[in-house]
Amino acid sequence: MAEVTMVQAVTQAIGRALEDDENVVLMGEDVGLNGGVFRATEGLQQRFGSARVIDTPLAEAGIAGTAIGMAAAGLKPIAEFQFMGFIYSALDQIISHAARMRNRTRGRLSCPMVIRAPYGGGIHGPEHHSESMEALFAHMPGLRVVIPSSPVRAYGLLLAAIQNPDPVLFLEPKRIYRTVKQDVPDDGVALPLDLCFTIREGSDITLVTWGAMVQETLSAADKLSELGIEAEVIDVATLTPLDMDTILTSVEKTGRCVIIHEAPYTGGFGAEIAARLAEKGLLHLLSPVLRVTGYDTIMPTPRTEHYYYVTEEKIIEAARKTVAFPETPEDLTPHQTNVA
């Protein structure tokens, strides 16, 4: 069985969906002949033809709008946006129509489409190519926001997204497109949406994260283990609708929580989870809920991008402070702001 990277798992899932359901179409800029600028759709036009794997003109609002029309007319379009940073011109269509088609027709019409976009930084990309704006979409009722963190979950969650009768934002953390290989059987089996995945068990602290940060968080958890702190790591995977029960159950056990995301601090999705912890898990908390996030700045251009990164070190620091609270470990400065 071949081991595949995340980007290959994406290709595999789309191929599977195109094969199994004649209503599925794939569309976007450069997705056909070129196989996608990240090769996420490599070979698919050759297999399924240009009527079902469509190289579209350059027009993000148009891609979203035509995909919505197709979806309401019975197709299941997978619309690729080359980078999350280019999705903004499609926001009107996504928010005003994709998210509302079912609601405003009382279920007569619906919008079973997937909007895929590579997202996040750390690839030394030029300006606008490193956006992490998942919180914008998480705020819109009627959408689902799904973010894979591994090849296996990319395959299973993307299949689930394609099969789902409602619109799904599928944000692919491009920094880890090729960094991990896993054995991903092409069995057409979807993973469940609307659920968190507990990918490491521990009883001292709960680390909640998603996307590329899952990698850093797992590494941090290993190092924390050497320090005698056993971390439970939760991959949120579906941001909305949120499975808060899994997170609460974990925090009831550990009493401590650190949330990690690459996106900026203020209004990031970590704030939603922290607020819900304060609302429903307050009496189990032994220390403040920390968020380890990007700064409230624009992602710097490549030369200074590294200042911005959410690193393993930052995660370990935050976890150690949380566990030691109210003491501060001697080698660390007292907690000032979110970023450890």
Partner 1 sequence: MKDFNLPDLGEGLQEAEIVAWHVTEGDNVVTDQPLVSVETDKAVVEVPSPYSGKIAKLHGEEGDMVEVDTPLVSFDEGEAKDAGSVVGDVQPKGDVKVEEAAVEASGPAVNKAGKATPAVRALAQKMGVDLAMVTATGQGNVITAADVETAAADIAGAEPLKPLRGVRRAMARRMAQASSEVAPATIMEDADLQDWAEGQDISMRLIRAMTKGCEAEPMLNAWYDAQENGLRIHNKIDLGIAVNTDAGLFVPVLHDVGNRSSEELREGFNALREAVEARTVPAEELRGATITLTNGGPLLGKYTTPIVSPPQVAILGVCRARDEVVAHEGEIAIRRRMPLSLTFDHRAVTGAEASIFLKAVIEDLAQAN
Partner 2 sequence: MTNDFNIPYTRYVDPEGVAISELPEFAKDTSRLIELYRHMTVARRFDTKAIALQRTGRIPTFPPALGQEATHVGLAAAMAVEDVLLPTYRDASAMLVRGVTLEELFFIMGGDERGFDYAGPVHDFPQATPIATQTAHAAGVAYAMKLRGEKNVAVTIIGDGGSSKGDFYEAMNFAGVWEAPVVFVVINNGWAISLPREKQSAAETLAQKGIAAGIPGEQVDGNDVIAVTEVVGRALERARKGEGPSVIEALTYRLTDHSTADDANRYRDADEVSEHWKAEPLLRMRNYLTAQELWSKEDEESLLVEVDAEINAAVDKFDQSDPQPPESMFDYLYAEVPADLAEQRQDAMARHASKGGAHG
**Catalytic residue selected from 129, 139, 284, 335:** 129
Per the annotation, the verdict on 335 as an active-site residue is no
- DSSP secondary structure letters along 251-290: HHHHS-EEEEEEEESTT-HHHHHHHHHHHHSGGG-SSPPE
CB of 223 to partner 1, least distance (A): 24
326 interface partner picked from partner 2, partner 1, none, CB below 5 to 8 A per type: partner 1
Q: Which long-range contacts (CB under 8 A, 24 or more apart) does 43-46 make?
A: 43/11, 43/15, 44/11, 44/14, 44/15, 44/18
CB of 275 to partner 1, least distance (A): 14
Quick check: 87 binds partner 1 (CB under 8 A)?
no
Count of positions (residues) in the chain: 340
CB of 104 to partner 1, least distance (A): 17
Q: Interface mask (CB under 8 A) for partner 2, residues 150-169, using x and -?
A: --------------xxx---
Question: What CA–CA distances, in Å, run from 177 to 90, 130, 173, 272?
Answer: 24, 14, 7, 27
Within 271-310, the residues that bind partner 1 by CB under 8 A are 282-288
Structure tokens at 88: 């903004």
284 interface partner picked from partner 1, partner 2, none, CB below 5 to 8 A per type: partner 1
* Binding-site member from 118, 142, 255, 264 for partner 1 (CB under 8 A): 255
Q: Are 220 and 316 in contact (CB under 8 A)?
A: yes
For helices 6-20 and 151-163, angle between their N-to-C axes, nearest 10 degrees: 30
Cα-Cα-Cα-Cα dihedral sign, residues 36, 39, 42, 44:
negative
327 interface partner picked from partner 2, partner 1, none, CB below 5 to 8 A per type: partner 1
Rounded CA separation 212/266 (Å): 20
188 interface partner picked from partner 2, partner 1, none, CB below 5 to 8 A per type: none
DSSP state of 108: S
Binding residues (CB under 8 A) for partner 2: these are: 25, 51-52, 56-57, 59, 61-62, 64-75, 77, 92-93, 96-97, 102-110, 141-142, 144, 164-166, 194, 240-245
Binding residues (CB under 8 A) for partner 1: these are: 255, 282-288, 325-328, 334
